[in-house]
Amino acid sequence: MPAYFSLFLFPFQILTIFVFHSIKSMSEKPLILVTNDDGIHAKGLRELVDVMQFFGDVIVISSEVSMSGKACGITVDQPLRATPVEEIHGVPTYKCNGTPVDSVKLSFNNLLDKTPDYVVSGINHGANTSISVIYSGTMGAAIEGSLHGVPSIGFSLDDFGPDADFSKAKLIVARIFQSVIENGIPEFSCLNVNIPTGKPKGIKICRQAHGKWVEEFEKRTDPHGREYHWLAGYFKNFEEDSVETDLHALKNNFASVVPVSVDMTCYKTLDHLKKWEL
């Protein structure tokens, strides 16, 4: 605990002794399910557990291998297993052979004795801003948590490196999680949090920026003369100047918080379609 104390006091006044006391005085610790899509060995997962232990009882479930890009994918064609593995920071830890969404589903239904109070996913190695929300396994887990009626958050750091420095990001995670404890999240939505590298200037509530990945598949030939392609590319932001977007926040060294809806209906288009003669 003293380690946290100093961590919180260091760069952010916003996270003060008050927080420390308010958590300590809670009559019962909340149960927090921690997962990710980078797999059980990822540094970001350990860092997230480290923060969450301050707020409640933690249980971890993740996959043996990376599940990056698995989106809201589920496994319907093979059985799932949750196997106890070496504890991370002394909390119960399981590996699951499925996707992040499978991990959350299995935890809620067969692993946990009671419904968790929170689902947190990450801290992802790499940002999940803008349209990346639809491809992200990190966000898949958070979306699944929200579908179970539980406040859920996906955290991502804008650094893909396996040894990324999460020290400042953890303060943002703690600050936002504290706000979720205090304010809740409206039902059937979750939060997509992206954190810049270095020292963030603060936190901004944003909407998802309008952009897309421009693929540039790398074409190669294997030793047997057969073509194969590696998915690569760059991100194109269609609205560089829109200050209310997550990409703008991150570019300007702010952490972004985007509320994500599980209702994918395009209501604007709904009005357009109603004019069709069908």
State which of positions 170-189 bind its own copies (CB under 8 A): 175-176, 179, 183, 185-186, 188-189
196 phi and psi, to 5 degrees?
-75, 165
* Comparison of 25 and 110: residue with beta carbon closer to its own copies: 110
* Comparison of 37 and 158: residue with beta carbon closer to its own copies: 37
Tell which one of 10, 18, 22, 69 touches its own copies (CB under 8 A).
69
Question: From CA 206, how far away is CA 186, in angstroms rounded?
Answer: 16
Tell which one of 93, 124, 208, 256 touches its own copies (CB under 8 A).
208
Tell whether residue 72 is a contact of its own copies (CB under 8 A).
Answer: yes
Stretch that binds its own copies, among 24-32, 42-50, 115-123, 260-268 (CB under 8 A): 260-268
Tell whether residue 66 is a contact of its own copies (CB under 8 A).
Answer: yes
Question: From CA 154, how far away is CA 136, in angstroms rounded?
Answer: 10
User: How buried is residue 82: exposed, middle or buried, by Cβ count under 10 Å (0-12/13-18/19+)?
Assistant: middle
Tell whether residue 167 is a contact of its own copies (CB under 8 A).
Answer: no
**Total residues interacting with its own copies, rule: CB under 8 A:** 80
Q: Restricting to residues 78-117, name those near its own copies by CB under 8 A.
A: 79-82, 99, 101-102, 105-106, 108-110
Q: 3: Cβ–Cβ under 8 A, 6 or more apart, which residues?
A: none
Instruction: Measure the N-to-C terminal CA separation of the chain; round to a whole number of Å.
Output: 64
Question: From CA 41, how far away is CA 60, in angstroms rounded?
Answer: 12
